[in-house]
Amino acid sequence: MEKILTKKSFPAWVKNLQSYTVYAPEKQENLWSYEVIQNPDKINLEYLNTVLAPKKITYPQREIFLQFNTSKEGKPQIKEVLPEEQPAVIFGVRPCDAKAITLTDKVFGEEPKDPYYWSRRNQTILVGLTCNPPPSPNCFCLSVGGSPHSKEGLDILMTDMGDKYHIDSLTKKGEKLIKAAENLFKPASPKDKKELEKIQRESEKKIKREIKDIKNIPDKLKDMFESPFWDEEAMSCIRCGICTYLCPTCYCFDITDELTSTLPLKGKRVRTWDTCQFPDFTMHSSGHNPRPDKASRLRQRILHKFQYHVENYQDYLCTGCGRCISLCPMGIDIIEILNKVRDYE
């Protein structure tokens, strides 16, 4: 269902969504971040890439699985904690970040389905925004099968058309949001649709960075596991977690027990994000570490995204948001690495 909404009416629409927790990009000091919006009049959809992807909402960095304590008689009590189901809408989702959520959906959707992830995910509505212009100079969604106006994973795609938005409702969840304030929307005219196509074509031309012949890369990587290439490329890596924590597709986690008291035993079992870039990620209890150095960890990041995930799910585990490039303190650039892989002899 294609509709038109004037920019003036946008806050009125959001005000009609009171039964939802509404998130939108908000500028905090110098950085953009998805935050809960109290005042819809203040939503600014002309934003650059947020530091953290909306993954931080659908798959938070920390969540409690269960609580445990021992009673006076020494009996252990365990209580499962599921996220409180609260319907949420995220405005201003970039198409790359929405696509990323479809990738984590597949991973957490494998049997047995992850109830923690899904109780939150099922309640989340994603309202996207066509990227025109691209929000980062390192955007490369076109190279990994995406586009600045891709609808994949979204419930609604909004496109900025000057003084109005084109609103493309893509799912039942999206319809429901529009029904909440139906009188604000007008049907899109054939002229609007033509204008939309033009904007979308232009938005693609503005993406400057590219991985050429990416389809050859997964096969190429298979023969490069033992290559000294990784030692060279990882020389400048400092093994921080920026590239993976900011990645909208990275989903690795750790589960730990956090004690608040030892006698009586009390605490929580929590899941927190973890990353293949940290030395203790693969540390065995014996002290042996199968990925002992930063070269093997950089290799893991690239191979997971461009070989293993392709083998397991027929898709790259990368949606071209460019965050890992823009924020790497040492200038490590995944596009340059993959272009080198492609040309490696």
If binding is defined by CB under 8 A, does position 297 make contact with another protein?
no
Judged by CB under 8 A, the residue of 62, 194, 198, 212 near another protein is 62
Q: State the nearest-atom distance from the C-beta of 117 to another protein, in Å.
A: 18
Judged by CB under 8 A, the residue of 329, 340, 343, 344 near another protein is 329
In terms of Cα–Cα distance, which of 193, 177, 189 is closest to 10? 177
Dist CA 39 CA 34 (whole Å)? 14
Site for another protein in 94-133 (CB under 8 A): none
If binding is defined by CB under 8 A, does position 203 make contact with another protein?
no
Dist CA 268 CA 64 (whole Å)? 7
In terms of Cα–Cα distance, which of 60, 49, 99 is closest to 318? 99
Cα dihedral sign, 211-91-6-11: negative
Judging by beta carbons within 10 Å of its beta carbon (0-12, 13-18, 19+), is residue 327 exposed, middle or buried? middle
For residue 223, what are the contacts with CB-CB under 8 A and spacing of at least 6?
A: none
Tokens read off for 256: 């730990």
Judged by CB under 8 A, the residue of 7, 48, 106, 212 near another protein is 48
Site for another protein in 63-82 (CB under 8 A): none
**HSE-CB for 256 with a 13 A CA cutoff:** 10
Judged by CB under 8 A, the residue of 238, 261, 264, 313 near another protein is 238
If binding is defined by CB under 8 A, does position 279 make contact with another protein?
yes
If binding is defined by CB under 8 A, does position 12 make contact with another protein?
no
Tokens read off for 285: 């209890």
If binding is defined by CB under 8 A, does position 311 make contact with another protein?
no
Stretch that binds another protein, among 7-15, 69-77, 122-130, 242-250 (CB under 8 A): 242-250
If binding is defined by CB under 8 A, does position 264 make contact with another protein?
no
Residue 15 or 65: the one with the smaller Cβ distance to another protein is 65
Dist CA 121 CA 337 (whole Å)? 33
Dist CA 190 CA 185 (whole Å)? 16
Q: State the nearest-atom distance from the C-beta of 156 to another protein, in Å.
A: 26
Judged by CB under 8 A, the residue of 58, 130, 138, 147 near another protein is 138
Q: Provide the b/e sequence for 20-54 (b: ≥16 CB within 10 Å).
A: bebbbbbeeeeebebeebeebeebeeebebbbbbb
If binding is defined by CB under 8 A, does position 36 make contact with another protein?
no
Question: Is the separation of the CB atoms in 337 and 221 below 8 Å?
Answer: no
If binding is defined by CB under 8 A, does position 228 make contact with another protein?
no
Residue 4 or 139: the one with the smaller Cβ distance to another protein is 139
Judged by CB under 8 A, the residue of 73, 163, 280, 311 near another protein is 280
Stretch that binds another protein, among 11-19, 105-113, 272-280, 298-306 (CB under 8 A): 272-280
Dist CA 116 CA 253 (whole Å)? 13
Catalog residues that contact another protein under the rule CB under 8 A.
29-31, 48, 51-52, 61-62, 137-138, 232, 235-236, 238-242, 245-246, 254, 256, 258, 270, 272, 274-275, 278-280, 283, 285-287, 289, 294, 325-327, 329-333, 335-336
